[in-house]
Amino acid sequence: MRRILVPTDFSEQARNAFEVAVAVARRTGAAIKLLHVIEAPSYNYAPTFSATGDIIAPYNNNMEQVYVLQLMETTRGQMEQLINTVEHKGVDVVQEVDVDKVINKIKRTIREDDVDLVVMGSKGASGLDEFLVGSNTEKVVRSAECPVLTVKRREPNFDVREIVLASDFRREVSQAMDRFKAFQSLFDARLHLVYINTPGAFESSSNVRQKLEETTEKYGLRNYSINVYNDSVEEEGIMHFANDIGADLIMMATHGRTGFSHLLSGSIAEDLVNHTQIPVLTFHIK
């Protein structure tokens, strides 16, 4: 792991994410980029004309430039304050402030900087706000081409000992397994494979255990446990199981569906990011 991206809005959760990113960087030797994106508003003012009637510059451009310059100055101060409040001695930290759409900039930075891991804070959401609005964190989880680690609460000593890997353990998980194994190895943690049995998609425990055993053999897993957990819905089952074993991290692969299919099917990974206090590591599979 060489590059970690930490998008920040200077919230408490974003600071917590930076703290976790520093802990991961200390173990891997990775460099961290702190990124803040300013989304400048658009105004519909009349343009400015010369004496001959030619357009010199739209008035809204002048207004936006002043507004953005003021924001940039404020943001630089906030960035310095953030860097100074998290102890990061020995970790290479760079900062960037840009004017763009948040998601577009994050996706472009992941691609252009060849980012290995995104660490983001999440405030969570519920009810109508979750359905209508969502969050930038959810959008990154849905679309990022690298693993995304979401953090809510402060984790001053981010030392992962117990990891939950929740999946249906079908063929698609193979795309993410190497990444998940690397994260387990990074912390020398115990991996708990869990299949959530629900009334709507019930399988016999013997069949599920056989599937999980085949998975462990196929990918050469070490230091693991195999678990079948019954619950009403998958998301709640994962959270209940993780709480039962005192998990430090939940790992999941996500299909990253968008648009109408996403509204119909939802995303368990995004639901977890919204509702659990435990850090969640997701990897978008195609």
Residue 96 falls in which region: left (phi positive, over 0), alpha (psi -120 to 50) or beta: beta
Give the chain's mean pLDDT. 83
Q: In the predicted model, is pLDDT for residue 104 greater than 50?
A: yes
Q: Give the count of beta carbons closer than 10 Å to the beta carbon of residue 43.
A: 13
Angle among Cα 110, 189, 2 to the nearest 5 degrees reads 25
Residue 194: band (very low, low, confident or very high) from pLDDT cuts 50, 70, 90: very high
Comparison of pLDDT for 62 and 192, the residue scoring more = 192
Which residues in the chain are classed under CATH 3.40.50.620? 1-46+54-156, 159-279
Q: Report the range of poorest mean pLDDT among 25-29, 102-106, 132-136.
A: 132-136
The residue to which tokens 């997701």 are assigned: 282
- CA 164 – CA 276 distance, rounded (Å): 13
| 1-46+54-156: in CATH 3.40.50.620 | yes
In 3D, which of 285, 252, 244, 278 has the Cα closest to residue 122? Answer: 278
Encode pLDDT of 14-63 as tens digits: 999 999 999 999 999 999 999 998 886 655 444 444 444 444 444 455 66
Q: Give the count of beta carbons closer than 10 Å to the beta carbon of residue 204.
A: 10
State mean pLDDT over 198-206: 87
What pLDDT score does 6 carry? 96
**199-206 contact pairs (CB < 8 A, 24+):** 199/232
Residue 172: band (very low, low, confident or very high) from pLDDT cuts 50, 70, 90: low
Q: What residue type is 250 in one-letter code?
A: I
Q: What residue type is 128 in one-letter code?
A: L
| 159-279: in CATH 3.40.50.620 | yes
- CA 174 – CA 283 distance, rounded (Å): 11
Q: Report the range of poorest mean pLDDT among 32-46, 192-206, 248-262.
A: 248-262
State mean pLDDT over 130-159: 79
What pLDDT score does 21 carry? 97
Q: In the predicted model, is pLDDT for residue 262 greater than 60?
A: no
Residue 132 φ then ψ, to 5°:
-85, -40
CB-based contact 230:219 (threshold 8 Å):
no
- CA 23 – CA 77 distance, rounded (Å): 24
What pLDDT score does 26 carry? 95
What pLDDT score does 265 carry? 39
